[in-house]
Structure 1
């Protein structure tokens, strides 16, 4: 009997060795199960007792410890030569694990991990929070660590208040680049000195009686007429210098841009006006509506409007902010109405204040007539008339006509373009042929 048992044991041992020699990828090691009353009791407890948050933390920690032990054991097996019957791929994998384990040990990673696990930031109790709040209310300085005290934060950016500032021209002379002169020609020195003159005068607003009397003293003569462009004149303005009257005009070829913002509109834009104080706002005429945008939030398509000016039935060819505060917007429409809107609050729909009947219709090949503000007077504006060729009218924002400039001898055409001087009692009017007429005291 002993002999037969020995043979059977030998046969079993040979079969196991043959199984071990096979690739470990295809063969699964047998699992032994051992039953006991204690194990059954533990399994029953796990099924009936709900797991708490602490139990989950213990399970996760045990899982992490088990994984670390597996890695260490695999490394030990690899170093001790316990890799009989493994393929070349698994041998190479164990060698990589061994090298990684040595590298992590050399940089003390496991030690740092254990230290971080031990260091836990305690939560502040309610009593501690109450003490801190009481210290802040009494003005007692809160204790800070040396690390936080040694840090130096960069200074906060200085905020600029745009609403309360008045717009001023940058100091120093501006460059003048002539485009219609020969290469060897030069601008006269007197013109350069006049152009670089800085106006320091800030004229105060007059009462309506004083303003009307100043308008009556303004006249035009033959020596105040000059042809400045050889094409149709579309815009003109005074330079703010006070020693002489310096004017700039533009024809259909267009005066160069200061900044460009790319926007896509369904209709052409006939007028753009920037807010005098809050430079981020600008008004744009889009067919039968005036929209006010914020340049900081522009998009190439579907930009949101800050405010809209409704009530126009035809195309709008003029919309301008009031010169000093920007609390009003003056519009000129082809439906022969001049309208004034309240933009002091920048609501979604600006309320209409005044509507004035005035002849504004022109042919498509003619320069459009637009009402413009007087920069010296916040509530007054000037406009030409297409019904009578030699008349320019000045209105109050309430709709009251203050004065009419009439000169049948010198003015024989419609003055489409009009503009007031910012400080002096002077008014210019330009016709479609590029001729300017100046009214001054």
Structure 2
């Protein structure tokens, strides 16, 4: 029996997965999801009556300008106007916790179980060795110089365009998470060379703009979409909902090493502070920092109370301890950008520098 070789933790996890599967089966979420997908993809065809053609003798000759006839004054026909693409529609997922079941899975799947078990196993190994190491630049440069790209390391992980990505911190196994524009999150075990090494889940209704594995517990994958911040917990096989808002989220970063709190940027320019330990799905604080939009937020690697926010032409550093709903003053403002700023990040290790990416084709 293969279960006798599992640890007590893994047996408990498998029991949790079985109980969760029974719970979500009772909720009939799969049937609701299937109906939502049918509604989103089904196109209603409306029959239209064709008007009877008029007889030639009843028609009066109408004069039409060359513009209406789509003819240039010289008599050369104008090119046809290209058809506008139809707006794409994606299924809407319900609020609240969602089971960690691949979108296309029917029944039980050993390949999905193997992928989730691998994620849990390498997370346990990382949690047991969380001591910080001094960055070895020589080793890092040697690793970059030895990189090659082969066909075995290319995989279709999600259905649509990839908008965000996160890499598990494990040193033994390469586990990659990718979020696409429809709300899908794909998990890929790069070390598994078969097609069974990748699975796609649907925890969001909109574009997944930002993802991070928890630095203290990589069994948790936090993902951000326009309307929600979720935590994928592989030990319980559930995507929990942490925060939900009517305003559109843009990015987030952890304020503490234990990933219990986070600062979240909004496209309308404000920032929010979220505490995962607080019941409910609302933020602790919504602060107006004077931006017209906030594209990225990044927390200082050493002094976690500081974060840098990048907006239209604004790049400012704030102290989260002094944030309030209105009237916030930055600790420092980085000026000189003449066009829109795409992102701003502290340097790793010390955080003594900030790099910005601007639409004027310059890095600062």
TM-score band, normalised by shorter chain:
0.3 to 0.5
Q: Give the TM-score normalised by structure 1.
A: 0.37
Structure with higher RCO (Cα < 8 A, 6+ apart): 1
Q: Which has the larger radius of gyration?
A: 1
More strand by share: 2
